[in-house]
Amino acid sequence: MIFAEYLVLSSLVLGVRLYLYQTQRIQFVDVSDTAKIHCSSKENLEGGSSMFWYLRREGETPTCIKRCLDDQNVGKFACKHETHSSTLEISNIQKTESGIYYCAFEYSSYLIFGNGTTLIVGDSYTNSSWVMFLVPFPRGTQVTGTANLACVIHGVSSPVHVSWSVSGELQEPGLTRSLRARDGSLTLINHISVPMDTWTSGKNFTCEVQFNSSGNSVKKSTRYLFASSTAPARECTHYIVLLAAAAGLLLLLVSLSLIWTLCPSTLGFQPRISSPPASEEHQGGILYAHLDFDSRNRNGRTMQRPARGKSTKP
């Protein structure tokens, strides 16, 4: 709650004087390496004596991990300063230190925060990891309002990087919610909201998940199934033509059968004793069922359940 209040107050002061910007929105680092997170400003940071660093882990509230005083640049966390920038160095970093790091500057008894850097330590992928795309239920011809799309990442050991694109055009980062299981694994739900007319336009929506810096990412793509309002009509017309042709053929066969049975001599055949008719089960017409798993396929292959894991293990 206190952290949220600081963010609100920071936004008020932000336009007055100081603006902090963290250029690295996402950063990968191997376990036991040294991570370096940068924070810059157009204003003088006064030697960094008023700089703080906060860490927000998945499912936890932000905590202050470092105040950049010159006499405290020892141990695991160290601050390196220049006139308009400050860098947090974390030595021997571990997977438990993955999260979002915020720089903060104390100004007139308020804290001004940067935009945050997501730090991913090691590989977040596990044997139980899978990615699934959730899309809105079709609403007929409705094109007003917004559509919410979600990318579900299950069974990861630490945060991942999720990016969205619409027909190749990169979108703003989505909002992420997390749930930690009893075994310590995380389920992340990253979602975006787009105008309904954008969703129903037939464009391709892609969610890309990166588990580490070197391994292959997982991409899930989908589009609105009824992008063209005339497509269902054309499809129904096609089925009607097929059914009409089938009905005509069936009527012709019945007519020939009656002629064969009632007037065999006119066709040059002698009557014969027919065998008992076989038992027939009423079919009740032809039933067409269309199951579309487009939101769960990858590379054109249909899957019976959500894809688990990556196509290539790093």
Contact 283, 276 (CB under 8 A): no
Selected residue with higher pLDDT from 311 and 283: 311
Average confidence (pLDDT) over 242-258: 62
Dist CA 152 CA 131 (whole Å): 6
Q: Which of the residue ranges 93-97, 132-136, 245-249, 286-290 would you say has the lowest mean pLDDT?
A: 286-290
Dist CA 149 CA 164 (whole Å): 10
Selected residue with higher pLDDT from 259 and 269: 259
Any alpha helices (H) in the chain, and if so which ranges?
Answer: 2-14, 196-199, 231-262
Report whether pLDDT(297) > 50.
no
Give the model's confidence band at 63: pLDDT under 50 very low, under 70 low, under 90 confident, else very high. Answer: very high
Average confidence (pLDDT) over 74-98: 89
Dist CA 87 CA 36 (whole Å): 6
pLDDT at residue 288, rounded to an integer: 31
Cα four-point dihedral sign 232, 234, 235, 239: positive
Could you tell me which of 271, 250, 275 has the C-alpha nearest to residue 260? Answer: 271
Selected residue with higher pLDDT from 164 and 60: 164
- DSSP state, residue 29: E
Mean pLDDT, the chain, whole residue set: 74
pLDDT at residue 108, rounded to an integer: 78
φ, ψ dihedrals at 224, nearest 5°: -65, 130
pLDDT at residue 81, rounded to an integer: 86
Give the model's confidence band at 39: pLDDT under 50 very low, under 70 low, under 90 confident, else very high. Answer: very high
Selected residue with higher pLDDT from 3 and 97: 97
Report whether pLDDT(118) > 80.
yes
Rg of the chain (C-alpha set): 32
* 109-123, 272-286, 293-307: range with highest mean pLDDT: 109-123
One DSSP character per residue, 210-236 reads ESSSSSPPEEEEE--TT-STTHHHHHH
Selected residue with higher pLDDT from 82 and 7: 82
Instruction: List, for residues 176-233, the tens digit of each pLDDT value.
Output: 888 888 888 999 999 999 999 899 888 999 999 999 877 788 999 998 876 544 444 4
Average confidence (pLDDT) over 6-11: 46
